Amino acid sequence: MATNGQSAEHRELALIGKVELRIALTDSDAKLESTLKTYLAPLLLKLASEHQSVRTKVMSICQHVNTRVKPDSVQLPVAALIKQFKEQQSSLIRHFDLLYIQQGVDRLSASQRAELLPVVIQGIADSGTHGATIFNLLLRLLETFRLPPRGDREDVELRRKYNVRDEDAAYLAKWIGKFILFAPVKPPTQSCPGLTPEDYMFITAQSKPDVFNPAQAGLNLPPRLMASGFFNDHERFLPALYASADTSSLISDVGEDMMKRTLPMTDLEDETLLHQLFTLYFGDGEAMRVRPRLRIKILGLLGRSQHSTTFSTKIMTLVEDGVAPPDAGGEDSVMSGVAAE
């Protein structure tokens, strides 16, 4: 058994040694690019080897690759790496896949980046601990993806065309909604109204460099994606509500348009939804309550629901909150928020 294990280890080392030699012998960026297109993804699979010597050798080769791919002229096999990321469960393989995906995505042409957006959406709910990085990657790809005119046949067929699962759409709707609520704050604070510190860190991808900057890429891109045929009315309702209360007209205009379409299809007597609205209004645990503009929108929705009146304790608290002056900590009531605006 030891001999068999040793020979298996030697075979793996010999195989990756050949890959290392091929990479080392490339004498131009074009040849390096071609070699990496063929061998980089399979090489990273060897990070799951049961042999420490093999894993160490692969990481050594990766250090050499990192040096060689510093010039932006070297394209990386991003599509193959994304596919591999989705198929693998090894955290080490996924980690290295993501390193090269993030490095290579901005080197792709606009059309190549646009082709990757549906690929990233598929299976995004299974991103696990890498969810923040994958979500941020999706935001970076949004700028290049052409969304069809709302309501036309191509828009209606988006979800079916790209095989978007219900769990992926729900996952995206949740995080796009939180992204719309997001507002950057000065360190060391790591939370904002409507978000927990954990949510805040997710949106900022743990404060890593190269995170999506909406001010540069387009404030209304995430809400516009939410308005597309990738989502149904149930999934887009809360993100639409958040967007409709945004202070930027670029976002609120998209949100108001979505609300006109989703509100008639939304059951305001649904107890789960009512709990969500009350939680947003009052806050919950580490999540501060949402800003006054959104609380006013929520009040309007609660006023249209008969079932909301059965939440007697919360209704009484709403009344008290509506006439309360700002407290010493600067927390505003809804009415004081209206006055301030």
- pLDDT (tens digit, 9 = 90+) per residue, 273-291? 999 999 999 998 889 999 9
- pLDDT (tens digit, 9 = 90+) per residue, 206-232? 666 555 555 555 668 899 999 999 999
| pLDDT above 70 (res 185) | yes
Q: Encode the chain in three state secondary structure.
A: CHHHHHHHHHHHHHHHHHHHHHHHHCCCHHHHHHHHHHHHHHHHHHHHCCCHHHHHHHHHHHHHHHHHCCCCCCCCCHHHHHHHHHHCCCHHHHHHHHHHHHHHHCCCCHHHHHHHHHHHHCCHHHCHHHHHHHHHHHHHHHCCCCCCCCCCHHHHCHHHHCCCCHHHHHHHHHHHHHHHHCCCCCCCCCCCCCCCHHHHHHHCHHHCCCCCCHHHHCCCHHHHHHCCCCCCHHHHHHHHHHHHCCCCHHHHHHHHHHHHHHHHHCCCCCHHHHHHHHHHHHCECCECCCCHHHHHHHHHHHCCCCHHHHCHHHHHHHHHHHHCCCCCCCCCCHHHHHHHC
Q: What was the pLDDT predicted at 12?
A: 95
> Which amino acid is present at 313?
T
Q: What was the pLDDT predicted at 329?
A: 45
| pLDDT above 80 (res 317) | yes
Q: What was the pLDDT predicted at 220?
A: 80
By percentage, how much of the chain surpasses pLDDT 90?
A: 79
Q: Of 19-28, 114-123, 201-210, which gets the smallest average pLDDT?
A: 201-210
| pLDDT above 60 (res 60) | yes
Q: What was the pLDDT predicted at 120?
A: 95
| pLDDT above 70 (res 235) | yes
Closest CA to 116 of 85, 151, 153, 154: 85
| pLDDT above 50 (res 328) | no
| pLDDT above 80 (res 239) | yes
Q: Of 97-101, 145-149, 316-320, which gets the smallest average pLDDT?
A: 316-320
Q: What's the whole-number average pLDDT of the chain? A: 89
In the block, residue with structure tokens 């096999």: 77
- Report the distance separating Cα 259 and Cα 339, nearest Å: 25
- Report the distance separating Cα 303 and Cα 206, nearest Å: 39
